[in-house]
Structure 1
Amino acid sequence: MPVWLIWLIAAIGLAGAEALTGDLFLLMLSGGALAAVASSLLVDNLVVDGVVFLVVSVLLLVMVRPVLRRRFAAGTGLPDLAKALEGKSALVLEPVGRHAGQVKLDGEVWTARPLSDDDVYQPGDQVTVVRIDGATAVVFKSV
């Protein structure tokens, strides 16, 4: 088996293992193994391949990995669905009381409870979402 193929299999294996960890460490080693593939194709020397693997892996770990980790950590991400639903109007489908109720909110049926435990809203009432508590919309009657 050619040496470059062994390096390629190592690169693919490391990249696949990275998918399980998500730490970006094995991905950097995979990049080093890809560099060793190129080295093996250019120079037929196992020691040179190993040095290329080591140098490129260390450079990727020291220079690229911290930048990627900061970038992923600082991402704005997707907007919070719960925050997006606050203040929206909903239609009461089943009586909304302290322990039960359903509303149609943004085209979907949600379980609901009133903001004040003493309130009860009847089907057909328009309510406003105050907040989302887990999978339950906390609502009050719109005026």
Structure 2
Amino acid sequence: MEWWTENSWAAWLAAAAALSVAEMFSLDLIFMALAAGALAGAVTGAFDLPLVLQVLTAAAASLATLLLLRPRLIAKLHSGPDLRMSHGRLIGTQGVVTQQISATEVGRIRVGGEEWSASPYDTMTTITPGENIEVLEIRGATAYVHPVPRLEA
């Protein structure tokens, strides 16, 4: 028991290291909370505080980390940028008309390095080749587009 009272901080530190390694394999952030508690126990052990106080400090730090920090970290890890997949990534991008587009004829556009069939979003609009457009919607394999207004100099 003599060794423990003089070197409890080292035992707590070893426990924190072992729990950190376990966290690397589990990735559920529970061992991380326990390692934080072990670090708190190491701090109290470094000040030669009684073992009961070391254990209570470690338990309180672990519980606080589990209840307060872990949920926020989990939410942060599980949220990320919205990934736009497939043709949905083209919505809002601009392109160029390669074949005239009107309500009665489906034309062609080049957007995002690809060529698409296109119809006007507003059925009263005719868009001529060379005009810049913005993709507003995609239905099936047809992009519904609207001309981008030009600033005249």
Aligned match of 2:22? 17
Q: Once the two structures are superposed, what CA deviation does each residue of 1:89-126 show, in whole Å capped at 9, x if it has no partner?
A: xxxxxxxxxxxxxxxxxxxxxxxxxxxxxxxxxxxxxx
Aligned match of 2:68? 63
What's the RMSD between the two structures over aligned residues? 2.6
Moved over 2 A (4+): 127-130
Structure 2: runs of 5 or more not aligned: 91-112, 117-153
Structure 1: runs of 5 or more not aligned: 88-126, 131-143
Normalising by structure 1, report the TM-score.
0.54
Larger radius of gyration: 2
Letter paired with 1:37: A
Normalising by structure 2, report the TM-score.
0.50
Aligned match of 2:46? 41
Number of residue equivalences = 88
Residue aligned with 2:37, SS: helix
Identity of aligned residues (%): 26
Letter paired with 1:69: I
- The residue correspondences of 1:1-143 to structure 2 (distance < 5 A) are 1=3, 2-76=7-81, 128=114
Residue aligned with 2:80, SS: coil
Q: Once the two structures are superposed, what CA deviation does each residue of 1:8-67 show, in whole Å capped at 9, x if it has no partner?
A: 000010011000000000000000000010011123311110000001100110000001
